[in-house]
Structures are given as structure tokens and as C-alpha cells.
Amino acid sequence: MPTENKTVMGDPLPNIPWEEKPAGSNAVVWRYSGNPVIPRDLIPTSNSIFNSAVVPFGGEFAGVFRCDDNQRNMQLHAGRSKDGISWELEPERIHWQCDDPEIGHWEYGYDPRVCWIDDRYYITWCNGYHGPTIGVGYTFDFKTFHQLENAYLPFNRNGVLFPRKINGKYAMLSRPSDNGHTPFGDIYYSVSPDMAHWGYHRHVMSPCGGWQSTKIGAGPIPIETNEGWLLVYHGVLTSCNGFVYSTGVALLDIDRPWKVIYRSAPYIMSPQTLYECVGDVPNVAFPCAALCDAPTGRIAMYYGCADTVTGLCFAQADELIDWLKRNHT
Ligand code: BMA
């Protein structure tokens, strides 16, 4: 039986995909035994499907998926699933409806996040506009997608919205970067009265040692808890063989989320399985979405594996926070 959880604010999600932690494991995050949940070739034109975002939708699940096509263009596709494990993706990429053709002109999009706020699902992604920046859009039904203004000037990546207004404003984490495979990167916090104008930028955190020494970026939509915002993020180490993308966790102040309460010293997950270590870009575990069942604190995270396939892993909110308090920097 699930244990009663008093930590997570939010809705019940009784049909969250879930698997118990393997007996004898002391891991704080454990992988789904059927990984990867999304193979690279789920749609006929895809080279790889990874770094994708999933949300509860109409008693089932929906999402926006990064599908790099077999011309190696980075595209976003909508998808649906009854159980969060078996997915059907639209074979045609998302065509955004946008009032301004200059902004709506599609170059490329990758690493989407989806966030329910008030009455709709907002989507943020890394959007090509003379270099990567943060694209913003929304949908009500995962059929019609509306594109708004880009949040920032290029270059920026990893735009991650908070699931409610904070102090009366929309709030977003992002990671200013350069136009290449950026060898630096801090997480910043910005707010907006209208989803178009972003400002009051605040520094949240910088790279530090080991697995998070080169750059860091926010992952899934932060989870609201009675201890703060639970933020799962990626951290990058530069090895003699290139970047290694691991996953960490932090707690941010509820009203001033640029204030870090705790930040993990060890990673909670690093690329260790074959599907995380071998692929188009080896050694990448890149989480972009988390489902959460508030009454039990169960968390199911979707993460890109080796820039090739999508994996699922699990954690328990109370346990993750307890672990963080014992393992912070
Ligand atoms: C980052 C992004 C991610 C990717 C990672 C590893 O810069 O492009 O989409 O998963 O590199 O290649």
C-alpha cells in the first residue's frame, strides 16, 4: 500500500506510472524495468525521440516530444498515452499558430517542457530564432498549438515554468548560453506579468564540483512541497571523452525561488545503463518531465537517454527530500 504523504502540494494522480523500488536497493531514484519507454523509431521519420515532456491529460497522458528526424532536424511532436508507458505520437510535427509570422517561422525546436497553469498547458522549448532561445506557447487539447513571443534574446536554453504564479507573476527558470555546445551555464529565475515580458532576473545557482562542474540546467517543472520547490536539474561534467549529463535535485524557497535551500552534492542518477551510455550522444541522462501523485508523493520522471530514446524512472518525494537534507553541498 502507498504510504500517506504530507509533503507534496497538488492533485492526486492515482494512475501515475509506477514500479516499486527493487528489493534491497538503496537508490533514491530507480529506473523502470521496461526502459526505454519510447524507442528511437516510434514514428517512421524519427532518428531519435528523447528530452520530452509528459503531463496528465483527461484522465490519461499527453505530451510534447523531441523527435529529431531522419534528416537530423530537431522537431516537436504531440503524443498521447493511456498509461504513460505506451505512447502514440503524431507523425506530423507541431505546426504552431502564431500572430507574428516572424516569430512563427519555424527553424527548429528541442527539449520541450509542458506546464499546466490556470486553464491551459504552456509549452516552453529551445527555439531557433537566430540562435537558440526559449520559445513559449500553449495548447488546450494537444491538437492546436499557439505560439507566443520568445521569452528572451538568444542565447538561452532550458526554460522551465513554475506551475503557478509566484507573488502574482508567472515565473521561469532558464539557462543563458551560447550558440554552440555551451561550456558554461548557470540557472536564473525571471518573472512575467503576461507570459510575454520577462524580467527581474535573479541568479539561482552556478556549476560546482564534480558531476555538475561545467554547466547546470533546470529539468522538469518544479514540484511544490511544504519544504520548498523540489527542482530536479541536470549537471554536466567535462570528461576527456566529452560531456557527461547527470541528474541532481535541489529545494528552492517557495516565495523567493532564486534562494536555494538545499542542493545535492552527489547526483541522484547518472548515465550508467547501456541505453544511457550508448547512443547518438553517449552518457546523457536528461530529465524534462515529472508526474506526481500528491497523496502518495510518488514521482515518475521522463528523461532523455543518450540523445536517442526516452526513459522513465521513479522516486518518492519524502524520501528524496530526506536524502537531499543528508547529502547537500
Ligand atoms: C544539450 C542539449 C540537449 C542534449 C545535450 C546532450 O546542449 O542539446 O538537448 O541532450 O546537449 O547532447
Q: Which of 66, 116, 149 is CA-nearest to residue 222?
A: 116
Q: Residues with Cβ < 8 Å from 20, sequence gap 6 or more?
A: none
HEC string of 221-274 equals: CCEEEECEEEEEEEEEEEECCEEEEEEEEEEECCCCCCCEEEEECCCCECCCCH
User: Which ligand 1 atom lies nearest to the CA of residue 50?
Assistant: 10
Tell me the C-alpha distance between 286 and 307, whole Å: 8
Contact 26, 326 (CB under 8 A): no
Supply angle C-alpha 135, 292, 66, rounded to 5. 35
Q: Assess whether the C-beta atom of 145 lies below 6 angstroms from ligand 1.
A: no
**Which single residue is written with the C-alpha cell 536528461?**
286
Ligand 1, atom 1, residue with closest C-alpha: 181
pLDDT at site 6: 73
Question: Contact 205/212 with Cβ under 8 angstroms?
Answer: no
The one-letter code for the residue type at 293 is: D
pLDDT score at 1: 46
Per-residue pLDDT 10s for the chain (329 aa) are: 455 567 999 999 999 999 999 999 999 999 999 999 999 999 999 999 999 999 999 999 999 999 999 999 999 999 999 999 999 999 999 999 999 999 999 999 999 999 999 999 999 999 999 999 999 999 999 999 999 999 999 999 999 999 999 999 999 999 999 999 999 999 999 999 999 999 999 999 999 999 999 999 999 999 999 999 999 999 999 999 999 999 999 999 999 999 999 999 999 999 999 999 999 999 999 999 999 999 999 999 999 999 999 999 999 999 999 999 999 99
Q: Report how far ligand 1's centroid is from the alpha carbon of 79 (Å).
A: 21
Q: Please identify, by atom number, the ligand 1 atom nearest to the C-alpha of residue 182.
A: 7
CA nearest neighbour of 176 among 163, 165, 196, 190: 190
- For 48, residues 6+ apart whose C-beta sits below 8 A from its C-beta are 40, 67, 68, 279, 280, 307, 308, 309
pLDDT for the residue numbered 3: 54
Provide the CA 68 distance to its chain's centre, in angstroms. 17
Which grid coordinates are listed for 122? 504552456
The three three-digit cell numbers of residue 210, written as one number:
564534480
Q: Residue 56 corresponds to which cell in the numbers above?
A: 496528465
Asked whether 110 lines ligand 1 (CB < 6 A), one says yes
Instruction: Give residue 92's pLDDT.
Output: 98
User: Quick count: other Cβ atoms within 10 Å of Cβ 277?
Assistant: 16
CA-closest residue to ligand 1 atom 11: 181
Angle at 77 between CA 222 and CA 67, to 5 degrees: 90
Q: Alpha-carbon distance 297 to 6, whole Å?
A: 8
Give the nearest ligand 1 atom to 304 CA. 10
Give tens-digit pLDDT for 229-278.
999 999 999 999 999 999 999 999 999 999 999 999 999 999 999 999 99
Quote the ligand 1 centre to 111 CA distance (angstroms): 8
Q: How far is the CA of 226 from the centre of ligand 1 (A)?
A: 32
What is the SS3 assignment for 275? helix
Is the beta carbon of 284 within 6 A of some atom in ligand 1?
yes
- Ligand 1 pocket check for 280: Cβ under 6 Å: no
192 lines ligand 1 (CB under 6 A): no
H-only helix segments in the chain: 101-104, 274-277, 317-326
Which run of H or E residues covers position 188?
Answer: strand 187-192
281 lines ligand 1 (CB under 6 A): yes
Residue listed under C-alpha cell 550522444: 281
Residue 318 phi/psi, 5-degree rounding, is: -60, -45
Atom of ligand 1 minimally distant from the CA of 177: 7
Write out the three cell numbers for 116: 499546466
Pairing outcome for strands 285-293 and 199-205: unpaired
Is the shortest distance between the CB of 111 and ligand 1 below 6 Å?
yes
Q: How far is CA 185 from CA 205, 208, 308, in A?
A: 9, 11, 23
CA–CA distance, 124 with 133 (Å, rounded to integer): 10
Ligand 1 centroid vs 154 CA: distance in angstroms?
A: 16
Sign of CA dihedral 157, 202, 263, 288: negative
CA–CA distance, 35 with 81 (Å, rounded to integer)? 16
